[in-house]
């Protein structure tokens, strides 16, 4: 058996074990955002306030590639924040976790609840 095949089988076995462990503890699966442990990430919420909508980018800069779009008023899931290129005096950018893992300027996203953690 090649090393690649052995590593693939080991990874599949580890993933299967993790799935079984998750299924064996239904209380963990029922817990929601804001958990105090580190087993699952916490997501924060924000509302897009850009009048024409917000371009979502692959890096926290205005010059990076546009990979998505969020409409005005849309509720987005925010994973974390980081400093990036300033947009109207605001240098924070949010990493959105709505399936694209794209960056949006925090200047155009209003927090709903607590501010996101740092990346």
Per-residue pLDDT band at 98 (split at 50, 70, 90) = confident
pTM of the model: 0.67
Question: Hey, which bits of 34-97 come out as E strands?
Answer: 44-48, 54-57, 66-70, 75-87, 90-96
Domain range summary for the chain, segments of one domain joined by +: 1-31, 44-112
The CB-side HSE value for 78 (13 A sphere, CA atoms) comes to: 28
- pLDDT the model gives residue 37: 56
Q: What is the CATH number of domain 44-112?
A: 2.30.30.40
Q: Give me the pLDDT at residue 114, please.
A: 95
Rounding to the nearest 10 degrees, give the CA dihedral for residues 102, 108, 111, 117: 50
Report pLDDT digits (tens) over 35-86. 455 667 789 999 999 999 999 999 999 999 999 999 999 999 999 999 999 9
For residues 23 and 88, is the Cβ–Cβ distance under 8 A? Answer: no
Measured in whole angstroms, the distance separating CA 55 from the mean position of its chain's CA atoms is: 16
Burial grade of 1 (CB within 10 A; 0-12, 13-18, 19 or more): exposed
């Amino acid at each position: 058996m090649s090393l690649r095949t052995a590593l693939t089988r080991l990874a599949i076995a580890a993933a299967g074990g993790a799935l079984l462990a998750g299924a064996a503890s239904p209380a963990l699966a029922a817990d929601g955002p804001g958990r105090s442990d580190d087993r699952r990430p916490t997501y924060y919420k924000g509302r897009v306030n850009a009048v024409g909508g917000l371009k979502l980018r692959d890096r926290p800069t205005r010059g990076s590639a546009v990979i998505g779009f969020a409409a005005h008023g849309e509720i987005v899931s925010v994973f974390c924040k980081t400093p990036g290129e300033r947009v109207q005096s605001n240098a924070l950018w949010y990493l959105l976790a709505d399936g694209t893992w794209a960056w949006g300027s925090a200047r155009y996203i209003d927090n709903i609840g607590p501010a996101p953690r740092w990346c």
